[in-house]
């Protein structure tokens, strides 16, 4: 893959397919529009349907650096945007103590000393002491960048509001340094597992794409693409099995990523069918919860049928 | 295109999807990027920009399907069968988007008949649209006599509802002429005109309603005495007046906007035949306002159709073919006009798709006109599947008239004429 001069939904879909990602028409069209309109893209859907993967592949597609901001509760500006390298500042202060002494030598009073230091203090609040966090790194980058804001629904609402500001103008204000504007606006992809409702304001600034679990045919194509050496029969059987699991109220329904992992596990153990023994040995790749495992193993005939 | 999309935005807002002006602008930009050639891509572009929550997707898709009817949608008729053809897809979608050549590719182009929809697909679609269902249910009840009338409406002729409603024209009309939206050669047009002439001839030969009701006319009381005196009253005979043939007045109100152009041409042929037969006929054409074109059409016919139908329309003063159709305004103008159609012997005949471009439909104005006439009839040159969808106000208009006929093809037109005859 590489940067495309004449980008189209078809080129996006085929490039993604080269990397083993089955890209539906809707995904390809929405990525194309995000590129053409210069808008952030909000991907929403259940876990494990390939939202993050799209971000990674989008970066590869453009031969751009992927900068990922993993959101979590309590994430704030200092972790997402920038912070001053306090330790480094302290170290430099210690090392330059003698130099500082020389600078202050002969200062008659406190005002004089402060005035002399004032001219020098800016050195400690320069880009050299600035720790760029993902958002600033994406904005300040000279090279093309894809900024992946992953699982934005995990972050606090305050952070969401802050992000809104950044995404509006692609600029940040650092009091000590002034405003830093993006030389080239980064391509932004936000993902959400829909665990909480995002603000309308944020949604409005983005193109929106809801990705659901794929249908049987699509999932089969994904498995065949991602898992080399899997037999058609086994692939069909495990996809059917996974789809039937999604129709039940398990605590955690298996996503595509888990199904791929499970398929890989089945290939590794040389399974040819979904026998009870094979399932017992490999189902941990698909289901990540003890209760779900027990339930599926106890009602195996129901899911296999 | 923007006007068409704006109507879609209004529609989607009514469906509960909140769309800001900024999102509308984004949607237009997105559509510019993907074009109109691929319907699914067009849908994806609108969805990516207008839908912001998973729960809104269903509403969006419903409105989209209703507003931009796809090529596969139809009524499940066989190809080549009268009434099948370019049909509703091209009509609704092209009109809704409202731009030049690309829009034809959004749905079915008139020259390529659509694929026959699957029965399951058609069934699913029909259940999606409650309004359409309601309209159909009302029309069916009226037709089957389970309901005396729906508003004023007493007679319904819709092919989807009554498959047996096609009169004897089936065997003599060529399939090429069956769909009024399909382009036709000059020869086909002439053949169509001849077929219309035959239809109108049937009207001329038809006796009046009053004559049909009583074979002998009303009692002639003055002659009772004269005849009785002659015979002394034995045996007593009750003489009757000889019934007079009463000529009905026909007022044709014809939508000549481009969306109904071909059907309008056909109806003007019919109007011309009425005029030729000496019926008291008025022909009122309209797009956004009514214009009485009776004299112009009579003159045009008198000169042996010396110019094309479109040229004729272009020469009629006050008729703006580029304007958006505004039925409400037309009905209201007619209602307050000193030449408002009225009288027991007047048959008020409307030809149009009822697409108001979201202007106020003013259906009460139609009702008042219809109440003042002996009979009112609406001929819809659109397939039934499109009725009430998009900006169509037919569900509001139809209860106000006495009869409605789906006249999307010549057979439909024949049904319409038959219905008209019944009311003459």
Domain boundary among B125, B155, B183: B125
| Domain co-membership, B192 together with B265 | yes
Q: Alpha helix (H) ranges present in B246-350? A: 261-276, 294-302, 309-315, 327-336
State how many domains chain B has. 2
Q: What's the average model confidence in pLDDT over B343-367?
A: 86
ipTM > 0.90 for the complex: no
Task: Please report whether residue B233 resides in a domain.
Answer: no
Domain boundary among B82, B103, B125: B125
Using an 8 Å CB-CB cutoff, list chain A residues near B45.
29, 33
- For residues A159 and A76, the answer to whether their CB atoms sit within 8 Å is yes
pLDDT digits (tens, 9 = 90+) for A70-82: 999 888 888 888 8
CB spacing of B54 vs A37 below 8 angstroms = no
* B26, B30, B54 member nearest A44 (Cβ): B54
Mutate to test the interface with A, among B41, B52, B56 (most CBs of A within 10 A): B52
Using DSSP bridges, classify how beta strands B373-380 and B403-406 pair: parallel, antiparallel or unpaired. parallel
How confident is the model at residue B92, as a pLDDT? Answer: 37
Q: What's the average model confidence in pLDDT over B61-73?
A: 72
Distances (CA, A) of B347 to B251, B283, B369, B403: 6, 12, 11, 11
- For residues B371 and B364, the answer to whether their CB atoms sit within 8 Å is no
Ramachandran class of B200: left when φ > 0, alpha when ψ lies in -120 to 50, beta otherwise: alpha
Using an 8 Å CB-CB cutoff, list chain A residues near B20.
204
Angle at A117 between CA A111 and CA A119, to 5 degrees: 110
Does A30 score more than 80 pLDDT?
yes
Tokens coding B347: 């048959």
Tell me which residue of A9, A55, A42, A36 sits closest to B44, measured CA to CA. A9
Q: Which of A179-183, A256-260, B40-44 has the lowest mean pLDDT?
A: A179-183
Burial of A4 (0-12, 13-18, 19+ CB in 10 A): middle
* CB-facing half-sphere around the CA of B54: CA atoms within 13 A: 14
Using an 8 Å CB-CB cutoff, list chain B residues near A37.
26, 29-30, 33
Task: Please report whether residue B157 resides in a domain.
Answer: yes
Q: Which of A40-54, A122-136, B145-159 has the lowest mean pLDDT?
A: B145-159
Total residue length of chain B: 424
How far is B9 from A128, CA to CA, in rounded Å? 51
User: How many angstroms away from the CA of A200 is the closest CA of chain B?
Assistant: 8
CB spacing of A32 vs B33 below 8 angstroms = yes
User: How many angstroms away from the CA of A211 is the closest CA of chain B?
Assistant: 9
CB spacing of A37 vs B29 below 8 angstroms = yes
Tell me which residue of A163, A137, A162 sits closest to A65, measured CA to CA. A137
Q: What's the average model confidence in pLDDT over A182-189?
A: 90
| DSSP sequence for B68-121 | S--TT-S--PPTTSTT-SSHHHHHHHHHHH--SHHHHHHS--TTSPPPPPPHHH
Q: Which of B77-81, B116-120, B241-245 has the lowest mean pLDDT?
A: B77-81
Tell me how crowded residue A203 is: count the other CB atoms within 10 A of its CB. 19
Using DSSP bridges, classify how beta strands B280-286 and B290-292 pair: parallel, antiparallel or unpaired. antiparallel
How confident is the model at residue B377, as a pLDDT? Answer: 87
Task: Please report whether residue B367 resides in a domain.
Answer: yes
Assign residue B140 the CATH number of its domain.
3.40.50
How confident is the model at residue A191, as a pLDDT? Answer: 95
How far is A106 from B135, CA to CA, in rounded Å? 96
* B44, B45, B52 member nearest A204 (Cβ): B52
pTM: 0.52
Nearest residue on chain A to B30, judged by CA atoms?
A33
How far is B413 from A278, CA to CA, in rounded Å? 69
Model confidence band, residue B165 (pLDDT cutoffs 50, 70, 90)? very low
Burial of A286 (0-12, 13-18, 19+ CB in 10 A): buried
Burial of B412 (0-12, 13-18, 19+ CB in 10 A): buried
| Domain co-membership, B121 together with B163 | no
Burial letters for B370-395: b for 16+ Cβ neighbours within 10 Å, e otherwise?
Answer: bebbbbbbbbbbbbbbbbbbbbbbbb
| Domain co-membership, B350 together with B372 | yes
Identify the bridge partners of residue A207 per DSSP, sorted by sequence position. Answer: A41
CB spacing of A30 vs B20 below 8 angstroms = no
* B20, B47, B48 member nearest A204 (Cβ): B20
Q: Which residues contact B275 (CB under 8 A, 6 or more apart)?
A: B281, B283, B294, B297, B298, B301
| Domain co-membership, B19 together with B43 | yes
Using an 8 Å CB-CB cutoff, list chain A residues near B54.
44-45, 194, 210
Using an 8 Å CB-CB cutoff, list chain A residues near B57.
210
Task: Please report whether residue B220 resides in a domain.
Answer: no
The single residue listed with the structure tokens 């005035």 is: A115
- For residues A293 and A284, the answer to whether their CB atoms sit within 8 Å is yes
Using DSSP bridges, classify how beta strands A187-192 and A41-44 pair: parallel, antiparallel or unpaired. parallel
CB spacing of A33 vs B48 below 8 angstroms = yes
Ramachandran class of A3: left when φ > 0, alpha when ψ lies in -120 to 50, beta otherwise: beta
Using an 8 Å CB-CB cutoff, list chain A residues near B49.
33, 207-208
Domain boundary among B73, B106, B125: B125
User: How many angstroms away from the CA of A7 is the closest CA of chain B?
Assistant: 11
Model confidence band, residue B416 (pLDDT cutoffs 50, 70, 90)? low
Helices B39-50 & B56-67 angle (0-180, nearest 10): 140
| Domain co-membership, B328 together with B190 | yes
Using an 8 Å CB-CB cutoff, list chain B residues near A200.
18, 52
pLDDT digits (tens, 9 = 90+) for B83-142: 333 333 333 333 334 333 333 233 322 333 333 444 444 444 443 356 667 788 888 888
User: How many angstroms away from the CA of B77 is the closest CA of chain A?
Assistant: 31
How confident is the model at residue B131, as a pLDDT? Answer: 65
User: How many angstroms away from the CA of A196 is the closest CA of chain B?
Assistant: 12
| Domain co-membership, B166 together with B252 | yes
CB spacing of A39 vs B22 below 8 angstroms = no
How far is B274 from B294, CA to CA, in rounded Å? 11
| Domain co-membership, B17 together with B146 | no
Using an 8 Å CB-CB cutoff, list chain A residues near B30.
33, 36-37
Using an 8 Å CB-CB cutoff, list chain A residues near B37.
none
| Domain co-membership, B75 together with B159 | no
| Domain co-membership, B86 together with B192 | no
Tokens coding B415: 């049904």
- For residues A145 and A55, the answer to whether their CB atoms sit within 8 Å is no
Q: By residue range, what is the domain housing residue B52? A: 2-125
* A29, A194, A203 member nearest B45 (Cβ): A29
How confident is the model at residue A23, as a pLDDT? Answer: 86
User: How many angstroms away from the CA of B44 is the closest CA of chain A?
Assistant: 6
Nearest residue on chain B to A36, judged by CA atoms?
B33
Model confidence band, residue B227 (pLDDT cutoffs 50, 70, 90)? confident
Burial letters for B244-275: b for 16+ Cβ neighbours within 10 Å, e otherwise?
Answer: eeeebbbbbbbbbbebbbbbbbbbbbbbbbbb
pLDDT digits (tens, 9 = 90+) for B249-277: 788 898 888 767 667 777 777 777 777 76
| Domain co-membership, B267 together with B202 | yes
Task: Please report whether residue B336 resides in a domain.
Answer: yes
How confident is the model at residue B100, as a pLDDT? Answer: 32
Interface of B with A (CB under 8 A): 18, 20, 22-23, 26, 29-30, 33-34, 40-41, 44-45, 47-49, 51-54, 57
How far is B397 from B366, CA to CA, in rounded Å? 7
pLDDT digits (tens, 9 = 90+) for B270-327: 777 777 766 678 889 998 899 998 888 888 877 777 777 778 888 888 888 878 888 9
Using an 8 Å CB-CB cutoff, list chain B residues near A38.
none
Tokens coding B214: 């009583």
Tokens coding B351: 């030809």
* In B128-181, beta strands by DSSP E: 155-157
Q: With pLDDT > 70 as the criterion, what percentage of chain B qualifies?
A: 64
Task: Please report whether residue B234 resides in a domain.
Answer: no
Nearest residue on chain B to A193, judged by CA atoms?
B54
| Domain co-membership, B9 together with B74 | yes
| Domain co-membership, B174 together with B311 | yes
Q: With pLDDT > 70 as the criterion, what percentage of chain A qualifies?
A: 97
Q: Which of A171-175, A210-214, B188-192 has the highest mean pLDDT?
A: A210-214
Task: Please report whether residue B229 resides in a domain.
Answer: no
Angle at B158 between CA B155 and CA B160, to 5 degrees: 145
Task: Please report whether residue B382 resides in a domain.
Answer: yes
User: How many angstroms away from the CA of B30 is the closest CA of chain A?
Assistant: 6
* In chain A, beta strands by DSSP E: 41-44, 65-70, 82-84, 130-132, 145-150, 171-174, 178-181, 187-192, 207-210
* B18, B29, B48 member nearest A30 (Cβ): B48
């Amino acid at each position: 893959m590489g940067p495309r001069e004449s980008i189209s939904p078809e080129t996006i879909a085929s490039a993604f397919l080269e990397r083993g990602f089955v890209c539906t028409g809707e995904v390809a069209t929405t990525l194309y529009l995000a590129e053409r309109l210069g808008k952030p893209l909000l991907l929403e859907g259940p876990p494990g349907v390939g939202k993050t993967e799209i971000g990674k592949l989008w970066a590869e597609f453009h031969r751009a650096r992927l900068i990922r901001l993993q959101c979590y509760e309590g994430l704030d500006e200092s972790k997402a945007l920038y912070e001053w390298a306090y330790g480094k500042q302290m170290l430099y202060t210690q090392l330059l103590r003698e130099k500082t002494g020389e600078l202050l030598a002969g200062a008659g009073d406190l005002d004089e000393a402060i005035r002399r230091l004032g001219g020098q203090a800016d050195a400690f609040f320069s880009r050299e002491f600035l720790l760029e966090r993902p958002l600033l790194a994406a904005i300040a980058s000279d090279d093309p960048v894809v900024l992946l804001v992953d699982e934005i629904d995990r972050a606090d609402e305050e952070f969401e509001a802050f992000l809104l500001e950044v995404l509006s103008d692609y600029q940040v204000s650092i009091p000590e340094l002034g405003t830093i504007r993006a030389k080239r606006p980064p391509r932004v992809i936000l993902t959400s597992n829909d665990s909480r409702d995002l603000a309308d304001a944020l949604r409005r600034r983005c193109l929106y794409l809801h990705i659901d679990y794929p249908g049987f045919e699509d999932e089969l194509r994904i498995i065949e693409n991602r898992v080399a050496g899997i037999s058609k029969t086994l692939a069909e059987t495990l996809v059917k099995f996974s789809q039937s699991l999604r129709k039940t109220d398990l605590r955690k329904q298996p996503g595509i990523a888990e199904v791929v992992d499970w398929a890989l596990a089945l290939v590794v153990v040389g399974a040819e069918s979904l026998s009870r023994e094979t399932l017992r040995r490999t189902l941990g790749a698909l289901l990540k919860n003890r209760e779900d495992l027990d339930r599926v193993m106890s009602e195996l005939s129901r899911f296999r049928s | 295109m923007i006007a068409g999309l704006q109507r879609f935005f209004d529609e989607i807002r009514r469906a509960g999807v909140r769309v800001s002006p900024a999102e509308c602008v984004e949607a237009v930009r997105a559509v510019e990027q993907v074009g109109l050639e691929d319907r699914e891509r067009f849908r994806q572009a609108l969805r990516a920009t207008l839908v912001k929550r998973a729960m809104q997707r269903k509403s969006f898709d419903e409105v989209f399907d209703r507003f931009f009817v796809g090529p596969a949608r139809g009524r499940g008729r066989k190809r080549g069968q009268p009434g099948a053809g370019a049909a509703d897809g091209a009509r609704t979608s092209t009109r809704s988007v409202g731009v030049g050549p690309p829009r034809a590719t959004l749905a079915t182009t008139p020259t390529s008949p659509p694929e026959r929809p699957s029965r399951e697909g058609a069934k699913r679609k029909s259940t999606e649209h409650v309004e359409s269902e309601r309209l159909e249910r009302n029309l069916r009840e009226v037709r089957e006599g389970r309901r005396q009338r729906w508003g004023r409406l007493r007679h319904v002729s819709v092919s989807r509802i009554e498959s047996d409603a096609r009169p004897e024209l089936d065997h003599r009309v060529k399939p090429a002429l069956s769909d009024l939206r399909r382009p036709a050669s000059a020869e086909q047009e002439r053949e169509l005109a001849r077929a219309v002439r035959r239809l109108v001839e049937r009207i001329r030969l038809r006796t009046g309603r009053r004559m049909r009701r009583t074979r002998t006319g009303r009692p002639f009381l003055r002659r009772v005495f004269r005849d009785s005196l002659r015979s002394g009253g034995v045996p007593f005979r009750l003489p009757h007046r000889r019934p007079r043939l009463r000529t009905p007045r026909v007022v044709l109100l014809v939508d000549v906007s481009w969306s109904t152009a071909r059907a309008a041409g056909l109806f003007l042929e019919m109007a011309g035949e009425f005029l030729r037969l000496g019926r008291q006929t008025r022909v009122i054409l309209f797009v956004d306002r009514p214009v009485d074109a009776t004299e112009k059409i009579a003159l045009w016919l008198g000169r042996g159709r010396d110019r094309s139908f479109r040229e004729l329309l272009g020469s009629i003063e006050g008729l703006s073919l580029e304007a958006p159709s505004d039925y409400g305004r037309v009905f209201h103008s007619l209602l307050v006009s000193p030449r408002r159609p009225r009288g027991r012997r007047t048959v008020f005949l409307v030809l149009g798709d009822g697409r108001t471009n979201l202007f106020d439909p003013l259906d009460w104005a139609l009702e008042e006109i219809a109440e003042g006439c002996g009979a009112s009839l609406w001929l819809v040159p659109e397939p039934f599947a499109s009725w009430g969808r998009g900006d169509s106000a037919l569900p509001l208009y139809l209860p106000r008239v006495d009869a409605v006929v789906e006249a999307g093809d010549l057979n439909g037109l024949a049904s319409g004429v038959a219905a008209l005859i019944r009311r003459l």
